[in-house]
Amino acid sequence: MKIIMLGAPGAGKGTQAKKIAEKYGIPHISTGDIFRANIKNETELGKKAKEYMDQGLLVPDELTCDLVTDRIKNDDCKNGFILDGFPRTIPQAEALTKALEKMGQKMDFAIDVDVPDSAIIERMSGRRACLKCGATYHIVTIPPKQEGICDNCGAELVQRDDDKPETVQKRLTVYHDQTQPLIDYYKNEGILKTVDGTKDFEDVFTAITEILS
């Protein structure tokens, strides 16, 4: 079972991807993890990616696709995998389709976790993080026992720059420009399935498993 997770930043697709991976025993593959692993292991592809990242540049589509293709050739992917954070653009999607065709494979599902922008801004701007131990909270859904203080280690909780409303809005604008067209691309491929991401986490997960089964 080969799955692509789609959805705006903050839609909860990463959390769902991890849970699906556990349930079906397939690897959850995020481009961030692939970049880090290749850079740490000093692979040829990792060295190339690092050159771009060190300059603050985006890793080119072709190289990103090579890294992903390299990863899905591993033995643990023989029963399938979940891609999270890739593809992000139409050229990446086309490159992935071609790479899989060469391997005699194709994607089975593209699952779009659909959440309106207003709900995402509300959701993300309520996040609070402990920079000391890494714990995360939400002022409405997962509040700490004492306001502004981490339950685990007692350190002060902060709002990350990434979660400030104006930053979230910028990220959503980029998403709609670049990644939203993927929804049409995978609809045309006949593999797009949409779930309502505003529902409770478990309800969203149930909706996804019903699609996959």
> For residues 142-175, b (16+ Cβ closer than 10 Å) or e, as one string?
eebeeeebbeeeeeebeeeeebeeeebeeebeeb
Residues whose CB is less than 8 angstroms from the CB of residue 105 and which lie 6 or more positions away in sequence, other chains included: 2
Of 2, 71, 88, 128, catalytic: 88
CB-neighbour burial class of residue 57 (10 A; exposed 0-12, middle 13-18, buried 19+): exposed
Amino acid at 212: L
Residue 160 annotated to the active site: yes
Residue 88 annotated to the active site: yes
Cα–Cα separations (whole angstroms), residue 164 to 34, 70, 86, 124, 167: 27, 36, 24, 8, 5
Of 13, 71, 123, 128, catalytic: 13
Task: List the one residue out of 138, 85, 109, 115 whose CA is nearest residue 11.
Answer: 115
Residue 36 annotated to the active site: no
Q: Say if residues 29 and 82 touch (Cβ distance below 8 Å).
A: yes
Whole-number Å distance between alpha carbons of 29 and 71: 8
Q: Say if residues 94 and 181 touch (Cβ distance below 8 Å).
A: no
Of 78, 106, 160, 170, catalytic: 160
Of 164, 171, 187, 199, catalytic: 171
- Active-site residue list: 13, 88, 127, 160, 171
